[in-house]
């Protein structure tokens, strides 16, 4: 008498792809190092700058921007993390196994983006909410003394965290397009830091208006508690950053579908 054995085929579901990418991200040593360094630098710079503040030279700078100057390092750290989550797999060859397990490919990209955003946003928000009161303990009695209840402060802290998470996802898209960590890192730094400064030198109002919607400028707008002169509103800045991120993911999706791994 023989017994028939039924084999249940493996089903690729969004939940399984998300779980796989979640585990993959947290098993990388670079993830832990990058996240810890991001929080530590933001906290240290916020406390250090506030402790050294003497009321001279920075009075016109927005209070939240002053406290979160460590964001300059955070956006690079999280950008590199996003790049490593995609381009890093191409450099190690692990991407072949990933795409073999998920032949339709695109669910991998969406899962990577969702997991990265789910990690970076809470980290940035927690860091901001811890850095602000720590910095204010040094700024009490100065022209930068403020509280979470002041107009625009909480919105700026949350906006900065949202912006940093979008930066990470944008970098993830660039990494998927370039498939090279050095090339994607260069493209990210060029887009965020170099290109806007170069374009700002051109004597054209249209170019100057466009520069205000580049990712770095949009993040700066999101981080300000009080509106800056001639700057777009926080809502427009958020929309600009969302469009940049969506464009990077769309380009990554197109490359992923058309090119072999």
Question: So what's the pLDDT on residue 9?
Answer: 54
- DSSP for 216-246, please give it: HHHHHHHH-SSPPTTPPPHHHHHHHHHHHHH
Alpha-carbon distance of 249 to 251, in angstroms, equals 5
> 129-157: per-residue pLDDT in tens?
999 999 999 988 888 889 999 999 999 99
Question: So what's the pLDDT on residue 261?
Answer: 64
Low-confidence ranges of the chain (pLDDT < 70): 1-10, 55-59, 261
Q: Minimal CA–CA distance to 197: which of 184, 215, 182?
A: 215
Alpha-carbon distance of 23 to 238, in angstroms, equals 30
b/e for 176-214, b at 16 or more Cβ within 10 A? bbbbbbeebbebbbebbeebbeeeeeeeeeeeeeebbbb
| 257 token code pair | 């579908």
Question: So what's the pLDDT on residue 214?
Answer: 94
> 167-181: per-residue pLDDT in tens?
999 999 999 999 999
Q: Minimal CA–CA distance to 70: which of 169, 160, 155?
A: 160
């Amino acid at each position: 008498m023989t017994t028939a054995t039924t084999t249940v085929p493996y089903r690729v579901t969004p939940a399984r792809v998300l779980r796989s990418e979640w585990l993959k991200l947290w098993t990388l040593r670079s993830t832990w190092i990058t996240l810890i360094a991001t929080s530590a630098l933001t906290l240290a710079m916020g406390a250090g700058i506030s402790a050294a503040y003497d009321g001279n030279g920075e009075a016109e700078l927005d209070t939240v921007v002053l406290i979160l100057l460590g964001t300059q390092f955070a956006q690079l750290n999280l950008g590199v993390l996003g790049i490593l989550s995609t381009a890093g797999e191409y450099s190690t060859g692990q991407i072949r196994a990933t795409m073999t397990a998920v032949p339709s490919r695109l669910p991998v990209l969406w899962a990577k983006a969702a997991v990265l955003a789910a990690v970076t946003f809470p980290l940035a928000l927690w860091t901001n909410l811890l850095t602000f009161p720590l910095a204010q303990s040094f700024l009490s009695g100065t022209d930068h003394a403020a509280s979470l209840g002041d107009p625009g402060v909480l919105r700026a802290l949350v906006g900065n965290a949202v912006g940093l998470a979008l930066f990470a996802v944008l970098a993830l898209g660039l990494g998927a397009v370039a498939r090279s960590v050095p090339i994607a890192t260069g493209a990210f730094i060029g887009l965020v830091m170099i290109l806007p400064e170069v374009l700002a030198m051109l004597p054209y109002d249209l170019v100057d208006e466009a520069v205000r919607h580049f990712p770095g400028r949009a993040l700066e707008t999101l981080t300000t508690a009080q509106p800056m002169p001639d700057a777009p509103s926080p809502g427009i800045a958020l929309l600009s950053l969302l469009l940049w991120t969506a464009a990077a993911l769309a380009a990554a999706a197109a490359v992923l579908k058309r090119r072999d791994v």
